[in-house]
Amino acid sequence: MQLLRVFMGEDDRVEHQPVFERVVRAARLRGLAGATVLRGSLGYGADSVIHHPRPWRLSGDLPIVVEIVDHEERIQAFLPELERLFHGGGLITIENVQAYRHDETGGELR
């Protein structure tokens, strides 16, 4: 199994829609095993500008991470779709993981 992490800013948009939403919806349409969006409370990226919450603004362009877990071949097949979503940058990491389903049947994911 692989864990795909997609790092971006909260304010990143594609056609007026948040990129993180587009990534999750695209993963679901592809039938990937699961996706989670994590919102950071502080961070910086390639521009070295520290992003943090500001009380006078609705957003401080906080860091967002989308995590997706599935089999290696399915993650690799999803990468070209991610490339199409990222016009202004972002970071994608992939690592090998062991994943297990925690439900009444137990056992390995898929």
Residue 102 lies inside a defined structural domain of this protein: no
DSSP structural state of residue 50? P
CATH code for the domain of 49: 3.30.70.120
Residue 108 lies inside a defined structural domain of this protein: no
Nearest to 39 by CA among 5, 20, 60, 62: 62
Q: What is the pLDDT of residues 53-70, one digit of tens each?
A: 666 555 567 889 999 999
User: d(Cα 47, Cα 82) in Å, to the nearest integer?
Assistant: 21
pLDDT given at position 54: 65
Total tally of structural domains belonging to the chain: 1
Backbone angles phi, psi at 10, to 5 degrees: -60, -30
pLDDT at 94 over 60: yes
Residue 83 lies inside a defined structural domain of this protein: yes
Q: What is the pLDDT of residues 21-41, one digit of tens each?
A: 999 999 999 999 889 999 987
